[in-house]
A and B are shown apart, each in its own frame.
Chain A
Amino acid sequence: MTATSNNPAPRPAVLSVEGHDLLFPTLPYDFTNRVAAATADSRLQASIDKATRNKDDLRKRVFAEVFGDRSDEIRTLAGSIKQHTLDHLDYYLDRFTERATDAGTQVHFAASADEANRICLAIARHHECKLCVKSKSMVTEEIRLVPALEDIGVETIESDLGEFILQLDHDAPSHIVQPMIHKDRYAVGRAFERELGVPYTDDPAALAMIARRHLRTKYRHADLGISGANFLVAETGSIVLCTNEGNGRMCTSAPRIHIAFVGIEKLIPDLEHLSVLLKLLSRSALGQPLTVYTHIITGPKRRLEPDGPEHVHVIFIDNGRTRLLQEETREMLRCIRCGACLNACPVYRKIGGHAYGAVYNGPIGALITPIFKGLANFKDLPHASSLCGACYEACPVKINIPKYLIQLRRDMVGGRITKRSERLFYKMWAMSLRSPRLYRLGQWAQKKMLRRKACAGNGRDERSVYVSQRWIERASGMIGQWTSQRDMPAPPMRSFRDWWVRHGDDNERI
């Protein structure tokens, strides 16, 4: 069954057998059922809340410690480095291609996901690859690379511990940086027992050792290594890969072939710019100064070098990105996929990543998914935000996510994706606000209506601080949406304006 069917809210156990289809739901996507499942699941919420707040607090603390009151300045600098590269992307793409080719790397360009996969499959077939080890990469999720490789008989193993677990358990990542944030160690223990035939354990250290033993044998026999890239340095033609587990190094040095999949937005001009972005990436993602491993890979192994791949390929992926390159939306491509906006987001903390129905989730996902896949296909995402601004504050490259979410809402109104009744409602509201007389009349009518509703609902608690209040406990329509979650205060008899007109003779009674 699918989570988007009309059945009652599915349980998380049901969600987890859907595998990667979780990230590619039937379109148009209505996220109601997955939100209902997540908001009803207090364990899921508690674990996401704990993990995201922990990272978010750490991020704030290390930024304050290291950058102090210059935090904003370095974020501005990092943002301007990325923006500059995007402003001159054609130049830097050429430059990178030239330099990387000089170093022996083969550079490919793919306009679409299918094309990227085709290039990869051709390389795999050419070298008769049988076993692929892969490090974590969001863009390979985006293009659905793993099923494509498995289809031609290349066994493909995710080697990032989180991704490895998800692959074993037929689950999908729900966070850009902490892919299995929605899972606990008991679920991991059960998956290992079922899929690897090991005795059940939920001890994290024991689980990690089981995964390590399993992966080591794979690394030894793999003939194809696949990675993403955190940055590409144009001036040196280098691939920069930041990982914490060492699996990235194994994937890019043990097999004969290394293929790196990269979105075209990952370019930066030179190594000095890399130093700025590296200062921010891991601090933003996890609150740590640097990732444990930072690789700068420039070409395949040279003569006399004993280790490293014989062939290195970079596959640049567009897959909708050039649509964002227009001036109004270019800023969104600055994203370095640190996940800080997810950790800071109060909505993400409540609904988790799978509710977004897309590879990229959280605030940045809510922003780019509707652009990549069509506003009409993801009508909820631009609106499912309280616009609190925590994401913008957290973003190391200063993408003004709330502002752009509002722009998407504007495009929904302009494209008549917003419901007609809603458009009519706002138009009338706007009209009433252009005239003080109509404003006052509307205010009076609203007060009358709310106070009448409140009369009917009251009487539950004749105690304490609420006794003098009028509250609405149940209602229909829009107010009913409000009272489905909390009570609604009714306005007092007189407004501030009423008091202002009379004040002087009427003290503070209103």
Chain B
Amino acid sequence: MNVSLLITCLTDTFYPRTGIAVVKVLTHLGCAIDFPDEQTCCGQPLYNNGFEDDARELAKRMIRVFESSERVVTPSGSCAAMIRDYYPDLLASDPQYADAARRFADKTFEFVEFLVKVLKVDLAELNVKWPGKATYHYSCHLRGLGMSDEATQLMRQIDRLEYVPMEKVDQCCGFGGTFAVKYPQISGEMVRDKVNCITATGADTVISNDAGCTMNISGACRRAGADVSFKSLAEVIAEGLGLMQPDESSASGQPVAGGGEEVESPP
């Protein structure tokens, strides 16, 4: 199966290991992967803040970039929801793009959704082993995608993974894009609530599949001195299949090398 990856801003910049894990897992499952490098952002931050015209231009851009893709997979429920819930509406009255927007929406999947609904994987059959006590954060954009317990279904298929559900699992962590910096007090109360629910589980790992939530919750866990690490389910599966080295020190999905010396040049 041919799959084009959509790895947008936050995952690309802050959680590259998640993107890498997606590549490795999908390749392992027999998909042919490409990453159209003209892609930038789905436009959600602009759309959510009321810059509809700018968001519409970006939507058209993304539609063109992924025009020839058979299927588009992204490890971000948030970007997938933008494409599926809002692109068709945004471009409904555009004669040139209305159909293309619907086609794009139809062929776009969040990574976990793709594993469960399209590839219909059974991780037990694949012998995925991942030792650890983990809880799971349900990110809000999965609602828009009509997803409920797909991730926890997969988690339960992983050998030696002890899943401990957290209280208020479907309560927003308070990220909300620019909400987190526009209304920091409210957002702060929300994320501290989430931290308390996490620590109450006694889990050592939080499985969180949306980069925005992960930045918010891991940052609040660190501030509170809560000693948990963060991983996406893609990373857990990649590690569980032996495609990636388990990286105990990778709180928030950042590898050891991430803390290293600065040697790089501008693009």
Contact = CB atoms under 8 A, between A and B. Distances in A.
Interface in B66-104: 89
25 contacts: A346-B171, A346-B172, A350-B193, A384-B183, A384-B186, A388-B143, A388-B176, A410-B50, A413-B52, A433-B46, A434-B58, A437-B267, A439-B40, A441-B266, A443-B9, A468-B251, A469-B254, A481-B180, A487-B222, A491-B14, A493-B264, A496-B20, A497-B37, A508-B17, A510-B17
B159 interface: no
Interface in B235-267: 244-245, 248-252, 254-260, 262-264, 266-267
B46 A430 contact: yes
Interface in A370-407: 380, 383-390, 392-393, 403, 406
Contacts of A351: 186
Given A484-B184, A508-B255, A53 B168 contact: yes
Contacts of B61: 434
B20 A508 contact: yes
Given A386-B172, A406-B47, A499-B19, A492 B185 contact: no
Nearest to A351: B186
A386 B175 contact: yes
Contacts of A349: 171
A493 B171 contact: no
Given A467-B249, A469-B252, A491-B13, A383 B40 contact: no
Nearest to B61: A434
A76 interface: no
Given A429-B45, A485-B188, A468 B57 contact: no
B57 to A, nearest CB: 7
B154 interface: no
Interface residues on B, range: 35 or more
A433 to B, nearest CB: 5
A35 interface: yes
A429 B41 CA distance: 10
Contact of A350 (B168, B181, B189, B259): B189
A5 B221 CA distance: 34
Given A429-B46, A468-B249, A436 B257 contact: no
Interface string A441-479: 101101100010000000001001111111101000011
A429 B55 CA distance: 11
Interface residues on A, range: 35 or more
Interface in A302-349: 346-347, 349
The 6 closest A-B pairs by CB, nearest first: A386-B176, A492-B258, A485-B188, A409-B50, A388-B172, A496-B19
Nearest to B13: A491
Interface string B21-38: 001100000000001011
B227 A465 contact: yes
Given A388-B172, A410-B52, A486-B222, A436 B184 contact: no
B254 A433 contact: no
Contact of B16 (A390, A426, A499): A499
A499 B20 contact: yes
A386 B43 contact: no
B228 A412 contact: no
Given A486-B220, A489-B215, A387 B20 contact: no
Given A485-B220, A496-B19, A413 B179 contact: no
B49 A409 contact: yes
Given A387-B48, A447-B13, A485-B191, A470 B35 contact: no
A468 B47 contact: no
A39 B6 CA distance: 38
A349 B43 CA distance: 29
B173 to A, nearest CB: 8
A347 B179 CA distance: 11
Interface of A: 35-36, 39, 45, 49, 53, 346-347, 349-351, 380, 383-390, 392-393, 403, 406, 408-414, 418, 426-427, 429-430, 433-437, 439-441, 443-444, 446-447, 451, 461, 464-471, 473, 478-479, 481-482, 484-489, 491-500, 503, 508-510
Nearest to B54: A430
A496 B12 contact: yes
B223 interface: yes
A480 to B, nearest CB: 9
Contact of A492 (B38, B193, B254): B254
Interface string B198-227: 000000000000000001101110110101
A425 to B, nearest CB: 10
A388 B171 CA distance: 8
A497 B9 CA distance: 10
Contact of A510 (B16, B227, B252): B16
Given A434-B58, A486-B222, A481 B50 contact: no
Given A461-B222, A503-B20, 10 more contacts: A53-B168, A347-B186, A390-B172, A408-B50, A412-B50, A465-B250, A484-B188, A486-B191, A500-B19, A500-B23
Contacts of B248: 465
Given A389-B144, A406-B48, A496-B20, A485 B187 contact: yes
Contact of A436 (B39, B51, B263): B39
A390 B141 CA distance: 10
A437 B9 CA distance: 14
Contact of A433 (B40, B184, B220): B40
Contact of A470 (B182, B216, B259): B259
B235 to A, nearest CB: 10
B112 interface: no
Contacts of B20: 496, 499, 503, 508, 510
B164 interface: no
A372 to B, nearest CB: 19
B254 A468 contact: yes
Contacts of B49: 409, 413, 426
B219 A486 contact: yes
A68 to B, nearest CB: 14
A383 B156 CA distance: 38
B128 interface: no
Contacts of B4: none
B172 A481 contact: no
B48 A409 contact: yes
Contacts of A384: 179, 182-183, 186
A444 B176 contact: no
A468 B46 contact: no
A147 to B, nearest CB: 32
Interface string B146-172: 000000000000000000000010111
Nearest to A432: B40
A62 to B, nearest CB: 17
Contacts of B228: 465
B135 interface: no
Contacts of B177: 386-387
B50 A411 contact: yes
Nearest to A389: B143
Given A429-B46, A495-B12, A385 B249 contact: no
B140 A388 contact: yes
